[in-house]
């Protein structure tokens, strides 16, 4: 089963809209030197940068897909400070990250909330990138697999079978995010393969269709080995996605 690798840049709370435009342009310049038609690239700027990035991608005909980092599960209402799935769809957003570990840990997002967001995103024709991953404490206590399985079952609970077919799951061990300490390729492969089996148990026949990304301190130096694993279909990249040269090298490693 061939799954097109997806390399996603999560810019987190970095870059104002002018800096965001510059990074889109620099990245397109860097990538022009490589062939990357076998790889999909999504960029996830902060909400306030989306319109500017959408415009530059559209006007300069850049090959990137636009992504968001989060959204609400309702399409409108009295939810001060929130952004809805319909607003994102109108900006040509293709991928929305939901359940990133920073949202789970810092903003109290439970599997139930993540499930509602994933379903709301998919309902608007966008693809959720559903994040799961264990903490260091979980791993050291030998419960990493159980934690990830429970997160998958809870977070994917509201998606239909058709929505599973285009779904993206990101396995991101919390202890590897922003620490410079990536999971070993063997451990990352094991957990991504396990995630695929769980997905297939939830919706039989979809395990081989869903793309499973690895995330957590992906850099040009470790990308080739991580992305070379059978069950790893791309990467969710934080820190290194803010540097056009490094990000382009990671994209290149996915070819």
| Residue 172 a catalytic site member | yes
d(CA 167, CA 182): 24
Q: Which is nearer to ligand PEP, 172 or 231 (CB)?
A: 172
Q: Which is nearer to ligand PEP, 159 or 240 (CB)?
A: 240
DSSP secondary structure, 145-187, as one string: HHHHHHHHHHHTTT--HHHHTT-EEEE--GGGTTTS-PPPHHH
Q: Which of 120, 125, 47 is nearest to 83 (CA)?
A: 47
Query: Closest approach of Cβ 239 to ligand PEP, in Å?
Result: 3
Coil, strand, or helix at residue 6?
strand
Task: Show the binding pattern over residues 200-229: x = contacts ligand PEP (CB under 6 A), - = does not.
Answer: ---------------xxxx-----------
DSSP secondary structure, 82-132, as one string: ---HHHHHHTTEEEEEES-HHHHHHS---HHHHHHHHHHHHHTT-EEEEEE
| Residue 17 a catalytic site member | no
Query: Closest approach of Cβ 76 to ligand PEP, in Å?
Result: 28
Q: Which parts of 122-151 interact with ligand PEP (CB under 6 A)?
A: none
Instruction: Give the Cβ contact number of residue 143 at 10 Å.
Output: 15
Catalytic residue, chosen from 100, 102, 109, 134, is 100
Residue 173 touching ligand PEP (CB under 6 A):
no
Catalytic residue, chosen from 40, 102, 109, 172, is 172
Residue 237 touching ligand PEP (CB under 6 A):
yes
Which residue's CB atom is positioned nearest to ligand PEP?
238
Active-site residue list: 100, 172
Q: Which residues bind to ligand PEP, rule: CB under 6 A? A: 10, 172, 177-178, 215-218, 236-240
């Amino acid at each position: 089963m061939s799954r097109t690798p997806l390399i996603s840049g999560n810019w987190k709370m970095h870059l104002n809209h002018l800096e965001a435009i510059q990074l889109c342009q620099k990245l397109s310049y860097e990538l022009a030197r490589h062939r990357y038609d076998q790889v999909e690239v999504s960029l996830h700027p902060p909400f306030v940068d989306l319109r500017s990035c959408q415009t530059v991608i559209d006007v300069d005909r850049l090959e990137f897909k636009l992504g968001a980092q989060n959204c609400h599960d309702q399409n409108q209402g009295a939810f001060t400070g929130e952004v809805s799935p319909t607003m994102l769809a109108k900006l040509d957003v293709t991928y929305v990250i939901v359940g990133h570990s920073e949202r789970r840990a810092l903003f109290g997002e439970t599997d139930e909330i993540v499930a509602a967001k994933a379903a709301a995103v998919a309902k608007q024709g966008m693809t959720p990138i559903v994040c799961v991953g264990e903490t260091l404490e979980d791993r050291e206590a030998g419960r990493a697999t159980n934690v990830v399985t429970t997160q998958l079952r809870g977070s994917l609970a509201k998606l239909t079978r058709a929505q599973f077919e285009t779904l993206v799951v990101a396995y991101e061990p919390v202890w590897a995010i922003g620490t410079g300490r990536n999971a070993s390729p063997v451990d990352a492969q094991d957990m991504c393969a396990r995630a695929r089996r769980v997905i297939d148990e939830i919706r039989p026949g979809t395990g081989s269709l869903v793309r499973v990304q690895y995330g957590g301190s992906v850099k040009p130096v470790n990308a080739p080995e991580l992305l070379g694993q059978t069950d790893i279909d791309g990467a969710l990249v934080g820190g290194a996605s803010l540097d056009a040269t490094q990000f382009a090298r990671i994209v290149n490693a996915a070819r």
